[in-house]
Every structure is written in C-alpha cells, then in structure tokens.
Amino acid sequence: MNHSHSKALFARAQERIPGGVNSPVRAFRGVGGDPVFFREATGAWMTDVDGNRYVDLVGSWGPLILGHAYPPIVEAIIEAARRGTTYGAPAPGEVELAELLCATVPSVEKVRLVSSGTEATVAAIRLARGFTGRDSILKFEGCFHGAGDPFLVKAGSGVETLGLPDSPGVPAALAKLTLTAPYNDLEAVERLFAEKGKDIACAIIEPVVGNMGVLVPKPGYLQGLQELCRKHGVLFVLDEVMTGFRLARGGAQELFGLKPDLSTFAKVVGGGMPLGAYGGRRDIMSKIAPEGPVYQSGTLSGNPVAVAAGLACLKALAAPGTYARLEQLGAMLEQGLKAEAQAAGVPVTLNRVGSMLTLFFCDTLVYDYTSAKKADTARFGRFFHAMLNEGVYLPPSQFEAAFVSLAIGEAEVAHILGAARKAFRSLA
Ligand SMILES: *Cc1c(COP(=O)(O)O)cnc(C)c1O
C-alpha cells in the first residue's frame, strides 16, 4: 500500500501541530509508524489521501454508530446550517433533544447540553462537588473520562490511595483529591469508603470500559458499586460517553439495570458533530446556573447544527432491531476473529459487549488495568499494521475499543475476517 501523500502531510503537520495531530492517539504512537490521512468516508468505508480504502472499525472513536456520512444526518446538518449555524440564544431543537434524552434514559430528569465528553465530565464533577459540599472524587484505574484536570491522575503506589498527576500541568494538590481504585474490585471501594467516604463527592466510572480496551463488569459489580455509593452519600456518576445509545437505547444503565445520580454523554448522542450532555436527578441538576449556584456555560452549547445531527442520529437508532443487529454483527466478528486466531495458533483474549470489542494479545483474562497491561503491545502493533495493509482500519492502540457500525454488512464482515486470517498468520 502506498502512503506517500499521508507521509508528506504528516511531515507538514508535525511542523505546525504538536505531534502532527489534534488528539494524541491518532498519531499511531501505540503501534509505530505514521498515521494515515483521510480524504473521505461513506458508510463502513474510509478512503485515505493516497486512494487506499479501509473498512472502518474506529468510527471516529465511537460516534459513528450509523457509519460515515449517513444521509439523514448529513441532510439534517445541511438544513440546520442553512437556517444559521449558531444563535447564542435558545432554539426549539435543544428542547426536543433534552426531552428525547430524558424519555430515553429514565435516570435523566434534567439535562444540560455541552460540546464534548470532556466538558460533560468536568461539569458533572463540579456539580457533584457543589451539591455534596465534598471535595474528593473516586475514579477507577485505567478508566478515561476525557482530558479534564480531575481525571489525569494515576494511582498512587499500588493501593487505592491518593492520586498523583498523570500529566505535567495538573497540580499535585488537585490530583490528591482524585482517589483511585481498581476496576471490578468492590472490596477496594468498600475499604476506601469506610475510611474516606465522608469526603467523597462522587464515584465516576465507565460502566463497560472502552478506554483500556473493552473490559466487562463482573456480574453484580456495578449494582454493588451503586449500593455502596448510596450507603455513603457518594453520588454515582455513570460516564456513558462511549456506551450511551450504543450498548442499548438507554445505554449501559438500561443494560445493567442501574439508576445513576448523574450521567454523561457525547459521541453517539451528537451523530458525529461536537455535542455532549450531562444530566440526572432533578434536585441535583437544579443546582446548575442560572437555576442554581454551580456555574457552567458554553458559547456553542446546544449548537443548532450539532443538535440537528444528534436528533437525526437518535431518531434513526429508534428503528426496531437496531441493537439486535449490532449484537449480531459484534458476535459474528467475535466468533470469526477467535476462530482465525486459533487456526493460526495465536493466543488472544477477546472482550466484547454488543458493538464494542477488543482483541487482547495475551492468553489470560482481562478484567482490570493490571490484567490489561499483560497484553503484548508489540504484537498488537504488528497485527494492526497487517490489518491496515489488508484494508481494515483498527484503533491504533491495544488499549482502545473497536466499534462496529450499522453500515457494516456481510461483505464487510467477510473482508475483515479475510484480512484477519492473513494478519494472524503473519504473526505466527
Ligand atoms: C471519549 C470519552 C470521553 C471524552 O469525550 P471527548 O468528547 O473526547 O471530550 C469521556 N469519557 C469517556 C468514557 C469517553 O469514551
């Protein structure tokens, strides 16, 4: 495959954009080599600037559950833009989207629209702190909640203790307020709450983790966490930025029967445009300005073009059979990939929930940060490039979820599995 135009663009990009990309994981640092630049995409396929075509299993990291350039979304965007791209004043679509969100996700009684997942999680944490009057928060090792300061924290040495900054620029004093515990370990949370529960405003979690690769919650884990939170007056915040409208129409909370105090959304809810949301209990959400004292604002919040795209996306997903079809596609890929790996003698652990999946290059179970880190990232890198060369675009990191879209059909599944057969054999 020729990538000369991508290489030339990347050389120019690196002169003027840090690392040549506007979001780090796009840079292929996790797999080696140079990133591919794209010129267009429709349905399940993307075309790069050298004319190579790929079946896309990234879906812009989650939003594109209907595939690229889905015609009703494109038309909604064009139509909205013709009526003005932003008013800086309320518009009817915001009310419609808020009503639709509340009707679809019953724990959400009031909702505020923002422009990204990061904005949603940062605002939810401020609100949880403002509502409870407590300063600390609990997050789980390896879970990602966007690039906000409170989340760029890693565990202190070994145990569930005070966090340390994960990035220069995050003050140690702030990181100390972010406590961490391992995912899928309720006892760790029990111990932590017994000691520090009174200082903790909220626990925030990815219900099904996508950001260390896909991790599946153990049976009862999320329900147990919700109960522990209630017992200690800790708000239970479900970060559904990745899972919302993807795992079920009502998100992971519908799938696992949860009732979080607050939830955050982005990705699918914006239909591929910059849009996020946070919402939840009426009494908590009523603390947001101008109804209450907790400040949060945004010049382009509830942007009419993004709202139109989000509405078109959510309406399309309401069609009967949507989530059964995503499950069926996910299962076909899971079974096919496992069979190809086995035939080539390559040990893998495949984690999947619905249309989110990760192929870990290890032969042990992966259920938390420590077990995920056992995966052979060099081997994943070789597999990634072999797949790329065969026309399949996977997330360029072992620790990211692949996403199946409704644009994928039987032909694309066959293409992916044919590529995987060659890729696995090249590793053996
Ligand atoms: C992507 C993601 C975010 C951040 O969303 P952005 O729109 O990239 O700011 C937050 N939480 C989770 C679970 C995500 O997957």
For 226-273, how does the pLDDT look when each residue is reduced to its tens digit (9 = 90+)? 999 999 999 999 999 999 999 999 999 999 999 999 999 999 999 999
Model confidence pLDDT, tens digit, residues 272-295: 999 999 999 999 999 999 999 999
Q: For atom 5 of ligand 1, which residue has the closest CA?
A: 117
CB atoms within 10 A of CB 196: 18
274, 299, 260, 278: which is closest to 145 by C-alpha?
278
DSSP 250: T
In this structure, which residue's CA is closest to atom 11 in ligand 1?
145
Span 320-329, mean pLDDT? 98
158 has a pLDDT exceeding 70: no
4-69+320-427, what's its fold? Aspartate Aminotransferase, domain 1 (3.90.1150)
Do 267 and 62 form a contact (C-beta atoms < 8 A)?
A: yes
Q: What 3-state class would DSSP assign to 232? A: helix
As a whole number of angstroms, the distance between CA 341 and CA 293 comes to 55
Mutate to test the pocket of ligand 1, among 242, 300, 400 (most ligand atoms within 8 A of CB): 242
At residue 160, the pLDDT reads: 45
Same topology, domains 4-69+320-427 and 71-317? Answer is no
Domain extents in the chain = 4-69+320-427, 71-317
Q: Which residues contact 362 (CB under 8 A, 6 or more apart)?
A: 347, 348, 349, 374, 375, 376
SS3 content of the chain, % helix, strand, coil (to 5): 45, 20, 40
Ligand 1: which residues within 6 Å by Cβ?
116-118, 121, 144-146, 206, 210-211, 239, 241-242, 266, 276
Distance 279 CA to ligand 1 centre (A): 16
Q: How far is the CA of 145 from the centre of ligand 1 (A)?
A: 5
Pick the atom of ligand 1 nearest to 61's CA. Answer: 1
Pocket test for ligand 1, best of 121, 246, 265, 275 (most atoms within 8 A of CB): 121
Rounded Cα–Cα distance for residues 317 and 9 (Å): 36
H or E stretch covering 363: none
Radius of gyration of the chain from its Cα atoms, rounded to whole angstroms: 21
SS3 state at 143: coil
The model's confidence at residue 162, banded by pLDDT at 50, 70 and 90, is low
Task: Pick the closest to residue 143 from 213, 61, 200 (CA basis).
Answer: 213
- CA 154 to chain centroid, in Å, comes to 19
Q: Is 331 exposed, middle or buried (0-12, 13-18, 19+ CB in 10 A)?
A: middle
CATH, domain range 71-317: 3.40.640.10
CA–centroid distance, residue 266 to ligand 1 (Å): 7
Query: Which band of pLDDT confidence, cut at 50, 70 and 90, is reported for residue 375?
Result: very high
CA distance 152 to 254: 28
Put simply, whether the predicted model's pTM sits higher than 0.75 gets the answer yes
- What's the full length of the chain, in residues? 428
